[in-house]
Structure 1
Amino acid sequence: MPAPVWTIGDITVHRIDETELPPETGPWLLPGATPDVVAAAPWLRPDFARPDHGLRLASHSFAVRAGGLRILVDTGIGNGKDRANPAWNHLNTDYLTRLEAAGFPPGSIDLVVLTHLHTDHVGWNTRYHEGAWVPTFPRARYVVARDEWAYWSAAELDAARRQLFRDSVHPVYDHGLLDPVDVPATGTEIVPGVTLVPTPGHTPGQVAVRLSDAGKSALITGDCVHHPVQLGRPDLSSCVDIDPAQAVATRRDLLASLAGTGTLVLGSHFPPPTAGYLRPDGTGYRLDPAPAE
């Protein structure tokens, strides 16, 4: 099945599926999104919530063609890696086959944008080859916000995080491909039409990615918004937010800036249809889906 694709002017965005996340992910990740809360937003069903009001979540990347460049936004969980989460431990998916089928063979990628340095966003940074973890995208510049890199470089990591940095981040750094960039409050355009937008709270240096061309725009959320239920309830925090209060404030500001603007919102963990337009709904917002072309 072809990768879903959306267009923003001359920019194309492909969703590269990795895996659907198991049902128990929702109660763990967003404990405040109880069945009653989900049931109060009937527009979430059937795409974003199951009949039992559990959350549907997915892991995928967005592969972007912009200005003649091939760009990958986040790299998922990865195959064959030691992970504390049983659902992610030694995963085995056809992710690279899907990426190549969409026209993005690993050797063609010019730029990898890492919205933040969490396990499920950096996994395909590397692959196992001849006894070592090596960069999957050897020609690419791997971009991360400088604040994000500085935070994790100084943090005292638990065993699970040490492992993910050892197999998925440090090999990229050691090969000279990691490029921490300054991201001011106004954002920074890293290539024409592709802008990093600061969205701190989930992690200190997390970014969203704005795509703009020919008067049209889209925004890839990163984990500023994990699930569409947070559109109606921006106060719902993730259990892994480093600064929950800041995450809520960031989410409120971002959603207010998007609602009614015609900006296509692409959720980094939203299951199909994944994309849509934000509009006011009561005291919050809802997503009007925009099916892939």
Structure 2
Amino acid sequence: MEHLMLGEVEVGKVVERQGAFLPAATMFPQLRPEAWRDNREWLAPNFWEPESGLVQGAVQTWVLRSEGRTILVDTGVGNGRHRPHTPQFADWDTEFLDQLAAAGVQPADVDVVVNTHLHADHVGWNTEWRDGSWQPTFPNARYLVPASDFAAAGNADPDSGKGHLYADSIAPVHRAGQVELWSDGYRIDGNLALEAAPGHTPGSAVLRLASGGDRAVFVGDLLHSPLQILEPARNSCFCEDPAQAAASRRRVLERAADQGELVVPAHFGGTGIAEVRRAGDTFAITGWAGAAA
């Protein structure tokens, strides 16, 4: 894991799995086919595979060290999950915890886990199967969970996708007394603060970093492809409230461009961190920052 220093915050990542997602036309039905073709030169190979038409990306966890504490942003898919509604996430068997250890982080070292939202590829390593049941993976951590997503998952049909992820990845942590629910905003420390950005899910959030003169915003699934920076009105097929998701995306990108915040999505391959600016009534990517995979 390579590291990027932003002010006094160290930023790195652990990649659980990298590769193909869905066909571009399926994942982004609002994006014109020519948008992919016209940007082929820089979209391939990290974001799109022209030969197959498949979106490329990563399932990864951002690892922050701030004010003496270790913070994980999203926890991926996890191993051994029953996911009939999302078979692409079922029964994974990865070396995520070994990779985390290689980065110098043992489960007991983690102080805070941020779930930007409650989808199956963002909460899996919240727990692990141990002693015959799902148990918190990070025994000393506070798990920061958006209250509205918690309510939606907790009230979901137990046989639904949200019901399954709640049962194996959220409820065990809640029973252990490690979940802290929040709504409009939540300050983690002097460098890091959570802010509501609903639409992808009811409680989708972004994590803002401000330390020294450096700024970044971890946007979760507000962005699945860099083409959404160029065309921010275009949602992925996973956005639960498309109009609200597009409004949140534009608002977050406007601030990032105006305040010089690096944009850090959950699933971008490559370095995974975009530099953006305004370009008329939309936005442009001016470069990519460190923390290479």
TM over 0.5: yes
Q: Is the 8 A contact 1:48 1:55 kept in 2?
A: yes
Pairing 1:274-289 to 2, within 5 Å after superposition: 274-281=272-279, 283-287=281-285, 288-289=287-288
Could you tell me how far apart the structure 1 residues matched to 2:283 and 2:158 are? Answer: 36
The answer to whether structure 1 residue 67 and structure 2 residue 52 are counterparts is no
The range that moved more, 11-20 or 187-196, is 187-196
Secondary structure in 2 aligned to 1:224? coil
* 1:106 corresponding residue in structure 2: 107
* 1:205 corresponding residue in structure 2: 203
Could you tell me how far apart the structure 2 residues matched to 1:154 and 1:86 are? Answer: 22
* 1:165 corresponding residue in structure 2: 166
Could you tell me how far apart the structure 2 residues matched to 1:24 and 1:243 are? Answer: 20
Shift of 1:101: 1.1
Shift of 1:179: 0.7
Deviations, residues 87-142 of structure 1 (Å, cap 9, x unaligned) = 21110111111111111111100000110111010000000112111000010000
Task: Name the % identity.
Answer: 36
Shift of 1:243: 0.8
Shift of 1:192: 1.9
Could you tell me how far apart the structure 2 residues matched to 1:27 and 1:106 are? Answer: 39
Pairing 1:149-228 to 2, within 5 Å after superposition: 149-156=150-157, 158-183=159-184, 187-228=185-226
The range that moved more, 61-70 or 140-149, is 140-149
Shift of 1:153: 3.0
Match for 1:200: what amino acid?
A: P
Could you tell me how far apart the structure 2 residues matched to 1:25 and 1:217 are? Answer: 33
Could you say if the C-alpha distance between residues 33 and 157 of structure 1 is closer, same or farther in structure 2, counting changes exceeding 3 Å?
farther
Could you say if the C-alpha distance between residues 142 and 98 of structure 1 is closer, same or farther in structure 2, counting changes exceeding 3 Å?
same
Normalised by the size of structure 2, how large is the TM-score?
A: 0.91
Could you tell me how far apart the structure 2 residues matched to 1:253 and 1:21 are? Answer: 29
State how many pairs are aligned.
Answer: 288
Secondary structure in 2 aligned to 1:217? strand
Could you tell me how far apart the structure 2 residues matched to 1:268 and 1:132 are? Answer: 28
Shift of 1:26: 4.1
Could you tell me how far apart the structure 2 residues matched to 1:270 and 1:25 are? Answer: 16
Secondary structure in 2 aligned to 1:137? coil
Q: Of residues 257, 260, 265 in structure 2, which corresponds to 1:259?
A: 257
* 1:57 corresponding residue in structure 2: 57
Could you tell me how far apart the structure 2 residues matched to 1:83 and 1:136 are? Answer: 19
Could you tell me how far apart the structure 2 residues matched to 1:291 and 1:143 are? Answer: 26
Shift of 1:58: 1.2
Q: Is the 8 A contact 1:111 1:142 kept in 2?
A: yes
Could you tell me how far apart the structure 2 residues matched to 1:81 and 1:144 are? Answer: 20
Could you tell me how far apart the structure 1 residues matched to 2:44 and 2:4 are? Answer: 23
Shift of 1:281: 4.0
More strand by share: 2
Could you tell me how far apart the structure 2 residues matched to 1:6 and 1:131 are? Answer: 39
Could you say if the C-alpha distance between residues 157 and 82 of structure 1 is closer, same or farther in structure 2, counting changes exceeding 3 Å?
closer
The range that moved more, 131-140 or 83-92, is 83-92
Shift of 1:191: 1.8
Q: Is the 8 A contact 1:172 1:178 kept in 2?
A: yes
Q: Is the 8 A contact 1:198 1:208 kept in 2?
A: yes
Could you say if the C-alpha distance between residues 45 and 282 of structure 1 is closer, same or farther in structure 2, counting changes exceeding 3 Å?
farther
Q: Is the 8 A contact 2:157 2:163 kept in 1?
A: no
Gaps of 5+ in 2: none
The range that moved more, 104-113 or 233-242, is 233-242
Secondary structure in 2 aligned to 1:166? helix
* 1:45 corresponding residue in structure 2: 44
Q: Is the 8 A contact 2:156 2:163 kept in 1?
A: no
